Amino acid sequence: MVNKLGRKLLIPLEGQPLDIQGFEQPRELLNRIPEDLTSLLDLVQRPVVSASQFSRAQLLQLARLASRYETQPQHSVRPLTGKILVSAFYEPSTRTRLSFESAWHRLGGDIMSITDPASTGIAKGESLFDIGEMLNHYSDLVVLRDSNENAVYEMLESLRIPIVNGGNGTDEHPTQAMADIYALLKWRPALCDASIDSGQRIRFAIIGVPGVMRTVRSLLILMSQFAPAFEEVVIITDEAEPFAAGQREELESAGLCFRISDDMQKELPQLDVIYINTIAWLGDDYQELGSRYGLSAASPLKAGAAILHPLARGAELARDLDGTEHNWYFAQARGAVFMRMALLSTILKTFA
Ligand code: CP
């Protein structure tokens, strides 16, 4: 069927299998990670501002819980019934806002959503401190995205309910990094094990700028909890200094081993995982950095290599990769719902 614009009308076939990487792997995580919910108790009623708040044990238990939600959705008992989420997004978002809201809905809770700060007292000069004080009375948890990296800390000063950082300027995006780690664990479940064979160690590349990309910054912090699994982390960039002051040293002291390269084509055949991102929020707007690097089905990718991308994508990630074995970015976005369910139910201690 063709419409008046001459475009084909694509109608999904009923019963067509879901063709997405990582669909079966959650079961393997359930088998590999022994359940020990005690490590999660430290997260109960706590704010989540930085990826550095999470231990390896907590990440594994959250991944296990996410796997449970992903594989057994019919067993959800809607533990957040009667609980209210304020979803405050003062900067555009597709995945973070909607996957948090989807997670909260799937757990049975209700949502008040702010997508435009001008619809709140901020338009009249009200402070985030005062808004935080109000939210204590109206809700049980807040997710905040703001292009100002201090916003989450300003709201924290008056909040007595937990807040989750949904991305603060160029600083951090901890729950995106949790979704990234969940995808990585599904791609290579051996990463869950206490020790890893040398043959299983990963050459991981980041096409991006760790110093100013919040997704990359948080991901590297979480990767440092799994440092022995990474043979090296190659930063592919043409920026002269891609790290923020002290960032590389801190990550290296946590065990990650970095190399910087500007030659993507030369690196690709040796890489097991390629994390690509071009968007960085700088001030009140976003910029595309490193967009001269692009991946497509014609790129010289190693067999079995996984591509991760926090999305939204631009020209750097061609759609002809979507139907290939390298597409782990859709699994990454899909798994974010279950990882956020795991985190939310942990913070509100309804995970047992
Ligand atoms: N990954 C991510 O933060 O996407 P959104 O901007 O759509 O939330």
Domain-located, residue 66: yes
**Distance from the alpha carbon of residue 313 to the mean position of ligand 1, in angstroms:** 10
The response to whether residue 278 sits with its C-beta less than 6 Å from ligand 1 reads no
The response to whether residue 166 sits with its C-beta less than 6 Å from ligand 1 reads no
pLDDT at 352: 64
Domain-located, residue 236: yes
pLDDT at 14 over 60: no
The response to whether residue 225 sits with its C-beta less than 6 Å from ligand 1 reads no
- For the stretch 303-314, pLDDT in tens is 999 999 999 999
Comparing 94-103, 231-240, 343-352, the range with the smallest average pLDDT is 343-352
The answer to whether residues 240 and 266 belong to one domain is yes
Name the residue at shortest CA distance from atom 3 of ligand 1.
96
Name the residue at shortest CA distance from atom 1 of ligand 1.
310
CB 89 within 8 A of CB 114: yes
Q: How confident is the model at residue 27 (pLDDT cuts 50, 70, 90)?
A: confident
The answer to whether residues 72 and 127 belong to one domain is yes
Q: Which residues pair with 274 in a beta bridge?
A: 205, 307
**Distance from the alpha carbon of residue 100 to the mean position of ligand 1, in angstroms:** 11
User: CATH number, domain at 149?
Assistant: 3.40.50.1370
Interval 335-342 mean pLDDT: 97
Comparing 17-26, 61-70, 138-147, 237-246, the range with the smallest average pLDDT is 17-26
The answer to whether residues 38 and 186 belong to one domain is no
**Distance from the alpha carbon of residue 23 to the mean position of ligand 1, in angstroms:** 21
The answer to whether residues 165 and 223 belong to one domain is no
What is the best residue among 100, 218, 311, 313 to mutate for testing ligand 1's pocket, by most ligand atoms within 8 Å of CB? 311
Name the residue at shortest CA distance from atom 6 of ligand 1.
93
pLDDT at 8 over 70: no
**Distance from the alpha carbon of residue 312 to the mean position of ligand 1, in angstroms:** 6
The response to whether residue 94 sits with its C-beta less than 6 Å from ligand 1 reads yes
Instruction: Write the DSSP symbol of residue 302.
Output: P
The response to whether residue 277 sits with its C-beta less than 6 Å from ligand 1 reads no
Domain-located, residue 352: no
The answer to whether residues 44 and 60 belong to one domain is yes
Alpha carbon distances (Å) from 290 to 269, 300, 314, 329, 336: 20, 19, 11, 19, 25
**Distance from the alpha carbon of residue 184 to the mean position of ligand 1, in angstroms:** 18
Domain-located, residue 72: yes
Which H helix or E strand runs over 281? Answer: strand 279-282
**Distance from the alpha carbon of residue 95 to the mean position of ligand 1, in angstroms:** 5
The total of other beta-carbon atoms located within 10 Å of residue 323's CB is: 10
Q: How confident is the model at residue 15 (pLDDT cuts 50, 70, 90)?
A: low
The answer to whether residues 219 and 253 belong to one domain is yes
Name the residue at shortest CA distance from atom 5 of ligand 1.
93
Measured at the CA of 240, the angle between CA 236 and CA 241, to 5 degrees, comes to 85
Ligand 1, atom nearest to 99 Cα: 8
The answer to whether residues 53 and 93 belong to one domain is yes
CB 202 within 8 A of CB 188: yes
CA distance 134 to 137: 6
The answer to whether residues 305 and 247 belong to one domain is yes
What is the best residue among 93, 217, 275 to mutate for testing ligand 1's pocket, by most ligand atoms within 8 Å of CB? 93
What is the best residue among 101, 144, 176, 182 to mutate for testing ligand 1's pocket, by most ligand atoms within 8 Å of CB? 176
Domain-located, residue 106: yes
The answer to whether residues 202 and 140 belong to one domain is no
Domain-located, residue 61: yes
**Taking Cα atoms as reference points, which of 47, 21, 107 lies closest to residue 307?**
21
**Distance from the alpha carbon of residue 200 to the mean position of ligand 1, in angstroms:** 30
Q: Give the largest Cα separation in the chain, rounded.
A: 60
Domain-located, residue 35: yes
Domain-located, residue 179: yes
What does the block give as tokens for 256?
Answer: 């990650």
Q: How confident is the model at residue 75 (pLDDT cuts 50, 70, 90)?
A: low
The answer to whether residues 117 and 191 belong to one domain is no
The answer to whether residues 183 and 329 belong to one domain is yes
What is the best residue among 96, 102, 214, 216 to mutate for testing ligand 1's pocket, by most ligand atoms within 8 Å of CB? 96
> What's the Rg (C-alpha) of the chain?
20
Q: What whole-number percentage of the chain has pLDDT above 70?
A: 93
Q: How confident is the model at residue 21 (pLDDT cuts 50, 70, 90)?
A: confident
Q: Where are the beta strands (DSSP E) in 119-216?
A: 141-146, 163-168, 202-207
Domain range for 328? 174-333
The response to whether residue 96 sits with its C-beta less than 6 Å from ligand 1 reads yes
Into how many domains does the chain fold? Answer: 2
The rounded mean pLDDT for the chain is 92
**Taking Cα atoms as reference points, which of 236, 316, 320, 311 lies closest to residue 273?**
236
The answer to whether residues 79 and 30 belong to one domain is yes
Comparing 53-62, 93-102, 191-200, 220-229, the range with the smallest average pLDDT is 191-200
